[in-house]
Amino acid sequence: MRIGIDVGGTNTDAVLMDGRKVVGWAKSPTTKDVSSGITNVLRALLDQTQASPASVSAVMLGTTHFTNAVVERKSLSRTAIIRIGLPATSALPPFVDWPEDLRAAISGEYHLVHGGYEFDGRPISALDDAEIKEAAAKIRDSGIDCIAISSVFSPVNPDQETHAAELVASVIPNAKISLSHEIGRIGLLERENAAIMNACLSHLAVRIVQSFRDALVGLGINAPFFISQNDGTLMSADFVEKYPVLTFASGPTNSMRGAAFLSGLKDAVVVDIGGTTSDVGVLSQGFPREASVAVRIGGVRTNFRMPDVLSFGLGGGSHVKTDPLQIGPQSVGYEITSRALVFGGNDLTTSDIAVAAGMADFGDKSRVAHLDKALVQASLERMWEMVEISVDRMKTAAGGVPVILVGGGIILIGDKLNGASELHRPEHASVANAIGAAIAQVGGEVDRVFSLDAIPRDKALQQAKDEATQRVLREGAIPDSVEIVDVEEIPLSYLPGNATRIRVKAVGSLAVE
């Protein structure tokens, strides 16, 4: 059996799954130290299901902890960057488009050195070992041990980054080194930004992963544990210690994947209604559709694979104002159990409307009996319209699409939505996020420029697919389960030789009993 955990801003959810069956689930408030919230929810889950810790074969966890550290500029390590690319790139040094406070929070030391590659693999200039060692010595003398290394066109050829890492390690023995080609794709500034953010989370990652481990061991769970990343695939805990930045945006991804699992649908629109906001995303072949524009995290521009999510201010705790009628975006949030009318409070919320309309039954019904029927009806219609507009904005074809409702706030929605061909409210929808973590797969990606004059298109595609498959297998996937889920070709204009950038993503199920 495996356990899925979602550490959210308000609640920490956990589910116990036996194969494809949900055995039980529990919710508990998220705690400041994170680990005691996890301990609490797991204890509740094990009590309720009477499962023995020894029967747990794997634990999968989704967390927003690292995203929040960058957004709040908390617990970040001082970090330096070595960029390999001179004489190119000096017009735009590292940190060029960073928020000043974030840069200040991590020191922002950088060194530009010679090297890097052209698009076709020719060297821009020779790598100079002495120059790199000199930069490393300066970084050591600044007392910094978190180092990012970037190099021009390292996605085409990573050799110089790898070699530079060895040189830096020889000068700073315990250095935490992040290499840009292991983290990002083409686009030097964005890839380098990701490597720097990863490096500045290095020490926090070790601490947090250790505290997760301690929480599990404290409950006698000795199973391997994994953390989910932004594209809906899993990383081993050891991997997260090295690549914490890859957990960014895993939350919406998990809820969409959980929705796909619970409903059995692979192509649908998912509406996740929480306490304060709703997220709408699109499932394509069982995976979240990705955003195409550069996403900023904590003010830093990145080019990660991120789910394309539309958020709007509707949740189970949203305020309802009556004159004129307005729903949200203010919300009573986690205070709903004291502030909503049905719980004895004085705030009219969307949950009160749902209870008054007979769509939900919790709290004290008599406290909303006085509400005007026309008001209740108008409020419901407004809420549904908010969801309908968002669904329409996200869907890719005219006509109806299947819509899956998940999250605690789905009690607000009636039996029909305009634009939805089918409306699904799967069982266990309120813990879809933790389920998404529990069922996450492992993935591998290749992103490279091929010259289609030098190698036929079929062969180039096959080579990319084979490499992506190899990467998935290295992550521990069951060979039979590996499939290619995404192939993208982008012709590179102006380049001769029919240069084409090919991106291939493969995923597979993790080998757990």
Judged by CB under 8 A, how many residues of this single chain contact another protein? 45
Residue 89 engages another protein in binding (rule: CB under 8 A): yes
Per DSSP, helices labelled H in 361-491 are 373-394, 432-438, 457-474
Pick the piece of the chain touching another protein (CB under 8 A) from 51-59, 101-109, 186-194, 462-470: 186-194
Pick the piece of the chain touching another protein (CB under 8 A) from 5-13, 88-96, 204-212, 358-366: 88-96
CA-based angle 357:359:364, to the nearest 5?
Answer: 75
Both tokens of residue 271? 């509406």
Residue 374 engages another protein in binding (rule: CB under 8 A): no
Min dist CB 103 to another protein, Å, is 15
Q: Evaluate whether 465 touches 499 at the Cβ level (below 8 Å).
A: no
Residue 118 engages another protein in binding (rule: CB under 8 A): yes
Residue 491 engages another protein in binding (rule: CB under 8 A): yes
Per DSSP, helices labelled H in 285-349 are 336-339
- Phi, psi torsion values for 455, nearest 5 degrees: -140, 130
Per CB under 8 A, the list member of 22, 139, 189, 332 interacting with another protein is 189
Q: Which is nearer to another protein, 32 or 122 (CB)?
A: 122
Q: Which is nearer to another protein, 242 or 395 (CB)?
A: 395
Q: Evaluate whether 161 touches 179 at the Cβ level (below 8 Å).
A: yes
Min dist CB 457 to another protein, Å, is 11
Residue 96 engages another protein in binding (rule: CB under 8 A): yes
Residue 391 engages another protein in binding (rule: CB under 8 A): no
Both tokens of residue 234? 């899993």
DSSP state letter for 95: T
Residue 346 engages another protein in binding (rule: CB under 8 A): no
Both tokens of residue 113? 């050195």
Q: Evaluate whether 334 touches 10 at the Cβ level (below 8 Å).
A: yes
Residue 394 engages another protein in binding (rule: CB under 8 A): yes
Residue 378 engages another protein in binding (rule: CB under 8 A): no
Q: Evaluate whether 314 touches 328 at the Cβ level (below 8 Å).
A: yes
DSSP state letter for 335: G
Residue 479 engages another protein in binding (rule: CB under 8 A): no
Amino acid at 444: G
- Phi, psi torsion values for 450, nearest 5 degrees: -115, 145
Per CB under 8 A, the list member of 46, 186, 273, 404 interacting with another protein is 186
Per CB under 8 A, contacts with another protein among 411-430 are none
Pick the piece of the chain touching another protein (CB under 8 A) from 53-61, 79-87, 219-227, 358-366: 79-87
Residue 104 engages another protein in binding (rule: CB under 8 A): no
Min dist CB 239 to another protein, Å, is 26
Query: For the chain, what's the residue count?
Result: 513
Q: Evaluate whether 38 touches 5 at the Cβ level (below 8 Å).
A: yes
For residue 295, the Cα-to-chain-centroid distance in whole angstroms is 12
Q: Is the peptide bond before 479 cis (omega within 30 degrees of 0)?
A: no
Per CB under 8 A, the list member of 176, 242, 448, 501 interacting with another protein is 501
Binding mask 439-458 for another protein (x = CB under 8 A): -------------x------
Residue 292 engages another protein in binding (rule: CB under 8 A): yes
DSSP state letter for 472: H
Residue numbers at the binding site for another protein (CB under 8 A): 85-92, 96-97, 116, 118-119, 122, 124-125, 152-153, 186-189, 282, 289, 292-293, 393-398, 452, 489-496, 498-501
